[in-house]
Amino acid sequence: LECNMITEFILIGFSNLGHLQVPLFFTFLLVYLATLMANATIMTVIRLDRTLHTPMYFFLFVLSCSETCYTLAIVPKMLTNLLSTSHTISFSGCAAQLFFFVGLACTNCFLIAAMGYDRYVAICDPLNYTLVVSRATCVLLVLASSCCGFLISVVVNVLVFSVPFCASNQINHFFCDISPVIKLVASLHTHLSQIVIIVLCALVLVTPLLLILVSYIHIISAIVQFPSTLGRYKAFSTCASHLIVVTIHYGCASFVYLRLRSPSSSSQDALISVSYTVLTPLFNPLIYSLRNKEFRSALRRAVGRTISLPQR
C-alpha cells in the first residue's frame, strides 16, 4: 500500500443518516447540556455542603469532573459535524481527541474501582473506615487513577500515530476512537499495535472489574451477617448505585473493545459508542445522586439558601 502524509481525517459518523442529522443534533445538544448541568450541580453541592465532605462524595466529585471533561473531548466536535458538510478533523485534533478520550475513559475505570474499594471498607470495616480511607488515601487513589489512565493513553497514541496511514483518511465513526483509527494504519504495523492495544484494553477493563467483584464478594458476605433486615437493606442500597454504574460502564466498554470483530462492527461500534460517550456521562451522576437521600437533602438545602425557600 502507498502511504501518504495525512493532515486531516474525515469522520463519517452519522453522515449517512441524511435528514436525521438535524434532529440528532438537537437531541444530543439537549443531552450534552443536561450532562454539563447535572455534573456541575453535583460538584457545586458537594463543594458547598460540609456534610458531603466524605470519601464517597469526594470520589463522586472527581468522577463528575472527569465525566464533564470526557464529554467535552467528544461531544462538541460531534455536534459541529452534524451541522457541517465537511466532517473533517485535523491530524493533531484527532490525536488530541484520542488522547483525552482514552486517558479519561481509563481514569474513570480506575475511579469506579476505587469507589468500590471505598464501599468495601465502609461496610466490611466501618470502625476503621476514616483511618483506612483517609483524605490522603483518597487523593492518592485519584492521582494513581489519573496517572495510570493517561500513561496508557500516551502508549496508545504513540502506537497509533507514530506509524504511517495508508489508503484512506475516512474514519467510520463520529470521533477518533481506537479501533476505527488503527484500521487506517499501514498493515505492516497494524497487527502488533492491535495486539498491544487489545492487551491494554483488557487490562484496563478486566483488572478493575475483578477488583470490584472481589470487593462485592466480601461486601455481600458481610451484609448477609447483619442481624437486622433494615441494616441489610441500607447496606445494599448504598451499593446499588455503584453496581448500576459498573454494569453500564463496563458492559458497554467491554462489548465494544473486547468482542470479536465482524465486517459490520464499525457501524455497531458507532451506535454503541453513543451510549457511553453521550448517555453514560449523564446517567452516572443522576444514578449516584438522585438515588441518594443524603445528597437530595443537601441539594434541597442548597436550593433553599439560593432562593430563600423554607427548609423541610
Give tens-digit pLDDT for 127-148: 999 999 999 999 999 999 999 9
pLDDT digits (tens, 9 = 90+) for 189-206: 566 666 777 788 778 888
CA distance 6 to 168: 9
CA 29 – CA 94 distance, rounded (Å): 21
> Does residue 186 form part of some domain?
yes
- Identify the residue whose cell numbers are 483524605: 135
The 3-state secondary structure of 155-195 reads HHHHHHHCCCEECCCEECCCCCCHHHHHCCECHHHHHHHHH
Span of 57-66, 179-188, 203-212, 235-244 with lowest mean pLDDT: 179-188
Domain of residue 121, residue span: 3-307
**Cβ atoms 127, 73 nearer than 8 A:** no
Q: How confident is the model at residue 19 (pLDDT cuts 50, 70, 90)?
A: confident
Instruction: Judge whether 243 lies within some domain.
Output: yes
What CATH code is carried by the domain that includes residue 150? 1.20.1070.10
Q: What is the mean pLDDT of residues 234-259?
A: 81
Alpha carbons 279 and 71: distance in angstroms, whole number: 10
Answer whether residue 182 is part of any domain. yes
Number of domains in the chain: 1
With bands split at pLDDT 50, 70 and 90, how would you rate the model's confidence at 39?
very high
**Mean pLDDT of all residues in 7-17:** 82
Is 276 contained in some domain? yes
Burial degree of 254 (CB within 10 A; 0-12, 13-18, 19+): middle
Q: What is the mean pLDDT of residues 88-103?
A: 93
Phi, psi of 79 (to 5 degrees): -65, -40
Q: Is residue 312 part of a domain?
A: no
Tell whether the model's pLDDT for residue 166 goes beyond 60: yes
According to DSSP, the residues that pair with 166 across neighbouring strands are: 3
pLDDT at 238: 78
Q: pTM of the predicted model, to two decimals?
A: 0.88
Residue 115 falls within a domain, yes or no?
Answer: yes
Q: Are the C-beta atoms of residues 144 and 136 closer than 8 Å to each other?
A: no
